Structure formats: C-alpha cells, structure tokens
Amino acid sequence: MHISLIVATDENNGIGIRGDQPAFISEDLKRFKALTTGNTIVMGRKTYQALPKGALPNRRNVVLTRQRHFSAPGCDIISQPDELNNICGPDEKVFVIGGGEVYKLFLSQSQEIYLTKIHHTFEGIDTWFPDIEDNNWEVKTTEGPFTDKKNGLSYSYINFSRRKI
Ligand SMILES: NC(=O)c1ccc[n+]([C@@H]2O[C@H](COP(=O)([O-])OP(=O)(O)OC[C@H]3O[C@@H](n4cnc5c(N)ncnc54)[C@H](OP(=O)(O)O)[C@@H]3O)[C@@H](O)[C@H]2O)c1
C-alpha cells in the first residue's frame, strides 16, 4: 500500500471552517480528480459528510468512523486506522483526503504529500493540517503560483516525498 496525503491549505496550514473548506479552486479540484480517480481515497466521517453528493465516483471510498452503524452508501467503513492494511492490497494507491484528524493519523505512514498552498490567510479557520518536519520531507516538485480566475486566489502545488533514511 502506498499512502499519500492530498490537501489544500492556506498560509497558516488552515484547511477548514465550520465543516467546510475555506475555498475551492476549480483547477485544483480537477487535479484532485485526476490524481485520485481509479485509486482509493480515505476520509474521516466529517469530511465524508461534507461531500455534496456522497461517495466520489470511480474510486474506492473508505470512511473512518467509530460509529458502529454509520451508513455511507458506496463506501467501505473502517473503525480504526490499522484496518486499512486489512482491506487494501500491497499495490493499492491510497490518498488520504482529510480532514484534520485523519491527516494526523496517517501522516507518519505516508510517503507523499500533494499540497495545494493557497497564498492567503482565511478568517475563522478551525481545522488545520499538521506541521510537517523538514527533516522527514523533501520538496520534489513545485508548480505555480497560479491565479484562480473565479476568486482571484493565488496558489501553488508543492509535492513532498518522505526522505529516505
Ligand atoms: N482543505 C482541504 O484539503 C480539506 C480536505 C478535507 C477536509 N477538509 C476540512 O476539514 C474539516 C473536517 O476535519 P475534521 O478534523 O474536523 O474531521 P475529519 O478528520 O474529517 O473526521 C473526523 C472523524 O473521523 C473519525 N475518526 C477520527 N479518528 C478516528 C479513529 N482513530 N478511529 C476511528 N474513527 C476516527 C471520527 O468519526 P466519528 O465521530 O463518526 O466516530 C471523527 O469524528 C472540514 O472543515 C473539511 O471541510 C479540508
């Protein structure tokens, strides 16, 4: 299993406001779709409930929850992070798509981070991406900055790989 985290943060690592994302960038959503389609996505129950149409099509959706009878049509449910090892094959490409709690849980097991850095500081942020240590991660590629045509936000793509020890 190859685990990557994929996330959009603001300049202070902010990722959420009242159960939603602070901003949506349409090119970033397209990139997210291109990267994750055909693979497996893992999300916390709260992030699942923020999806407007439920499970995302053409990928395996996995939801993490402690609720025994949680219903998430089209999704596999796991009740602890380790269960991912039982349900995923050795060659499966897994993207952890949030939110804050679930990024923290999988950070130490992940090999890559696909970060969309939005060059802005949003008001009212209540959920953050965990700090990553420079000792553990190296920047592999950066692209941008780009500007979103709709909302004028500037953003860059920064891909990190775990440093080999
Ligand atoms: N900017 C981005 O890229 C991005 C991406 C995704 C999400 N977000 C934002 O992040 C926010 C949601 O993040 P969040 O941290 O509040 O919630 P979350 O990580 O999406 O989900 C938390 C839930 O996951 C389950 N969970 C957590 N740890 C667990 C464990 N060890 N075992 C079993 N289940 C566990 C629990 O579900 P139960 O309570 O059901 O047991 C918990 O309430 C939203 O604002 C969302 O819009 C942003």
Write down the pLDDT at residue 66.
Answer: 98
Domains within the chain, CATH numbers bracketed? 2-162 (3.40.430.10)
Q: Which among 47, 18, 11, 6 is positioned nearest to 119, based on CA atoms?
A: 11
Residue 39 DSSP class: S
Helix, coil or strand: residue 8: strand
Cα separation of 21 and 146, whole Å?
A: 19
Ligand 1 interacting residues, C-beta cut-off 6 A: 7-8, 15-16, 19-21, 43-47, 50, 64-67, 79-81, 97-102, 105, 127
Write down the pLDDT at residue 134.
Answer: 85
Encoded amino acid at 72, one letter: A
Write down the pLDDT at residue 164.
Answer: 87
Write down the pLDDT at residue 25.
Answer: 97
Cα separation of 39 and 49, whole Å?
A: 20
Write down the pLDDT at residue 165.
Answer: 74
DSSP output for 84-142: HHHHS-TT-EEEE---HHHHHHHHTT-SEEEEEEESS--TT--EEPPP--TTTEEEEEE
Residue nearest ligand 1's atom 12 by CA = 99
CA of 80 to the centre of ligand 1 (A): 13
What's the average pLDDT block by block, 10 residues per block, for the chain (165 residues)?
97 97 97 98 98 97 97 98 96 97 97 98 98 94 97 98 90
Q: 41 Cβ partners below 8 Å, 6+ apart?
A: 56, 59, 60, 61, 62, 94, 95, 96, 97
Write down the pLDDT at residue 104.
Answer: 98
Query: Are 38 and 58 a contacting pair, CB within 8 Å?
Result: yes
The preferred substitution site among 31, 117, 127 for testing ligand 1, maximizing ligand atoms within 8 Å of CB, is 127
